Amino acid sequence: MNLRRVVVTGLGALTPIGNTIPEFWEGLSNGVSGAAPITRFDASNFKTQFACEVKNLDISQFIDRKEARKIDPYTQYAMIAVEEAMKDADIDLDSIDLARAGVIWGSGIGGLKTFQDEVSDFATGDGTPRFNPYFIPKMIADIAAGFISIKYGFQGPNFATVSACASATNALIDAFNYIRLGKCDLFISGGSEAAVTEAGVGGFNALKALSQRNDSPDTASRPFDKDRDGFVLGEGAGALILEEYEHAKARGAKIYAELIGGGMTGDAYHITAPHPEGRGAANVMRFALEDAGIRPEEIDYINVHGTSTPLGDVSEVKAIQQVFGEHAYKLNISSTKSMTGHLLGAAGAIEAIASILAMNHDLIPPTINHFTDDEELDTALNLTFNKAQKKKVNAALSNTFGFGGHNCSIIFRKIGE
């Protein structure tokens, strides 16, 4: 079977270091930290009192205030990022087959704030079940995909992927496969998350997953640093327009990159901890390379999952060394979570975008906040510490791994004829 080529023709981002693609790239290339004290609620009694929040956002500029009350922040974020991506792709909706255009959207949690607020109101009331009629449709993790399809009239496949922090990459791989198998021509895909809430911070604190560096939040996300103490919770959305190559060419679309392969595996090891030797991570990168039909030596940059957790960072580096061998020392590797924090189900989308932008600018975004080498990690590896590095990037791989042992890797390449 001849598989069709898939390209990226539009990008949109709403992140803790920038509310548009240009702002996001400026933050990435300059090593900006998005972490600061929490403003969403009073966090003074929480073990972690900071996060990477979206900043300076006026929802009413994008969504009517009355309509905004009917949708959870995770859906609001999705709609804003998708609007930028659709404008960037410059798609004439009247000239495409809407039955062959779909939406696959990822979120690890969905409407957490809605769930928290509604249950809290009920629990502190008189026991009478007075729930908002929008409670369920605001909360469920598929509703962002539904809203997106309704707004743009996309009548093709429409669903959500939920695989914790791998959700958005899972969505991108699914959309990629639909297009290359000839089932659709175009997809809006990506992910969003809005978990900076009392339940989100408190829950991850209970797991001992979050950094508690309250005295220095801007340096708290420090992947690969010896003194890392957990991830920093982030929020936002990333949207990509994926399109069949000939379809894109026919309408004269701008093409950012070609999506050439993806892999998905399960650790089959532990609910929250990665396999200590990176078994699932190594397998997923091998499968992605095999799917893309390229050799490990052809990858120039890896945007790692790199959450700033003691176990996760070490296991991922071990996996990279298993898969790439001596070429691992010629790669640039970086964790953009050092700047954005961990956007959970949206992480894979904004990190795919970061990888694509690195290729378009031939510049590797840094892993900031590195102060002390970790003796468990090979210091000969180029982890792109603290400052962006110029490098010709023809192909980039992005990793995202999730609680439950879900692993996804995706590979982009500069477009060739």
Phi, psi dihedrals of residue 85, rounded to the nearest 5°: -65, -40
- Determine contact, residues 84/21, Cβ cutoff 8 Å: yes
Question: Are the CB atoms for 338 and 223 separated by under 8 Å?
Answer: yes
Long-range contacts at 114-118 (CB < 8 A, ≥ 24 apart): 114/72, 114/138, 114/139, 115/139, 115/199, 116/197, 116/198, 116/199
| Catalytic residue (one of 342, 370, 406, 408) | 342
Q: Sort residue 249 into left (φ over 0), alpha (ψ -120 to 50) or beta.
A: alpha
Question: Helix (H, G, I), strand (E, B), or coil: what is residue 87?
Answer: helix
Q: What is the DSSP letter of 71?
A: S
Task: Report the alpha-carbon distance of residue 383 to residue 235 in Å, rounded.
Answer: 24
> Given 165, 275, 370, 408, which residue is catalytic?
165
Give the separation between CA 169 and CA 310, rounded to whole angstroms: 23
327 is an active site residue: no
270 classed as catalytic: no
Question: Which of 305, 370, 406, 408 does the annotation list as catalytic?
Answer: 305
305 classed as catalytic: yes
What stretch of H or E contains 193? Answer: strand 186-193
Name the packing angle between helices 347-361 and 21-29 (round to 10°). 70
Which residues lie closer than 8 Å to 94 by C-beta, 6 or more apart? none
Write out the catalytic residue numbers.
165, 305, 342
